[in-house]
Amino acid sequence: MTSKPTILVTRKLPDAVEARLARDYNAILNPHDKLYTPEELIEMSAKADAMLPCHSEHLTADVIGKLSDRIKAIANFSVGYDHVDVAAAKARGIIVTNTPDVLSDATAEIAMLLMLGAARRASEGERLVRSQGWKDWSPAFMVGTQVTGKRFGVIGMGRVGQVTAKRARGFDMDVHYYNRSRLDATREAGATYHDSVDSLLPNADVLSIHCPATPETKGLVNAAAIEKLPDGAVIVNTSRGAVVDDDALIAALKSGKVAAAGLDVFNGEPVDIHPGYRDLQNVFLLPHIGSATRETRNAMGFRALDNLDAIFAGREPGDRVA
């Protein structure tokens, strides 16, 4: 009998996922959910045949270059893989996979929460009630932006973008989108395609960001882009902070050009986000919890394990990205 492969699991995963890991592999688990340093990851890689990391592990070219030769695969517990230098992994013959599809519903839920929370001033109102600052009511009190029937602009109409657009249609929103390629009619579902971000922006009363963080999308939502939005637009980001130029967004939130923003992801997250966001009333801020539901976290873990099962059975994994 051949021995089971050893998997270095970098974070605490759901019980059901860890049970399957323990059944099918020699799993190096992280019961206390310690955030490993790059040095620790490199050291532990000597004992493992594959890694199962999250986006909290920054697998730079330097780190990947120093991983043990034993490591055959990096099976991410995430759909985004901007935390992994895929070119470096490829150069070392390390297979990289992600977990698409299974977190689209959960992330779309958070996008709707952010849209409504931002547009309807939920953080501000919540703070007022909690702090006993709510003293009066008047017709002018806490008036926000109505989203029903407005234009919902999507940057990046992949799996999450498509589900989010579907949910936005529940608010009778008219969906516009930019994507590198136009979707077929079924997936487009009546949405208006724009072949450039510049064309999309004037049509986005709500701009929802769903593209991955790549060198091409870094700072895509900058001052020039924001200027092209309708006055009083709402910006929602459930993708990656890197797509947004924080200084530009904060300036637009202060001037009122952007009425409000709902953000689940940030440059420098978790501890080093732009301090300017903390003082603004017209932002609705969440700590990167787009996929944080019990159902989805299990599904992400199982999907990562499906990929590892394929790799160690000598098959092509379903979600190979490098």
- Choose which of 5, 80, 153, 262 interacts with ligand 8YV (CB under 6 A): 80
Q: Half-sphere exposure (CA, 13 Å, Cβ side) for 198?
A: 1
Coil vs helix vs strand at 235: strand
Looking at the Cβ atoms of 164 and 203, the one nearer to ligand 8YV is 164
Looking at the Cβ atoms of 80 and 156, the one nearer to ligand 8YV is 80
Cis before 270 (ω within 30): yes
Looking at the Cβ atoms of 100 and 153, the one nearer to ligand 8YV is 100
- Binding string to ligand 8YV for residues 153 to 192, with x set by CB under 6 A, is what? ----------------------------------------
Task: Write down the residue that tokens 């960001």 correspond to.
Answer: 209
240 is catalytic: yes
Given the residues 151, 159, 288, 297, the one annotated as active site: 288
Helix axes 104-119, 294-312, angle to 10 degrees: 150
269 is catalytic: yes
How far is residue 191's CA from residue 100's CA, in Å, rounded to a whole number? 22
Q: Where do runs of H (alpha helix) occur along the chain?
A: 15-24, 38-44, 61-66, 86-91, 104-119, 122-130, 159-169, 185-188, 197-200, 223-228, 246-255, 294-312
Looking at the Cβ atoms of 121 and 297, the one nearer to ligand 8YV is 297
Shortest Cβ 100–ligand 8YV spacing (Å):
9
Shortest Cβ 245–ligand 8YV spacing (Å):
20
Length of the chain: 322
Looking at the Cβ atoms of 77 and 120, the one nearer to ligand 8YV is 77
Q: Which two tokens stand for residue 220?
A: 């895509």
- Choose which of 54, 183, 223, 251 interacts with ligand 8YV (CB under 6 A): 54
Terminal C-alpha separation, the chain:
30
The reply to whether 55 sits near ligand 8YV by the rule CB under 6 A is yes
The reply to whether 241 sits near ligand 8YV by the rule CB under 6 A is no
Task: Write down the residue that tokens 């099918």 correspond to.
Answer: 24
Q: Which two tokens stand for residue 73?
A: 């695969």
- Binding string to ligand 8YV for residues 99 to 138, with x set by CB under 6 A, is what? ----x-----------------------------------
Name the site residues for ligand 8YV (rule: CB under 6 A).
Answer: 54-55, 77-80, 103, 290-291
Which residues does the annotation mark as catalytic? 240, 269, 288
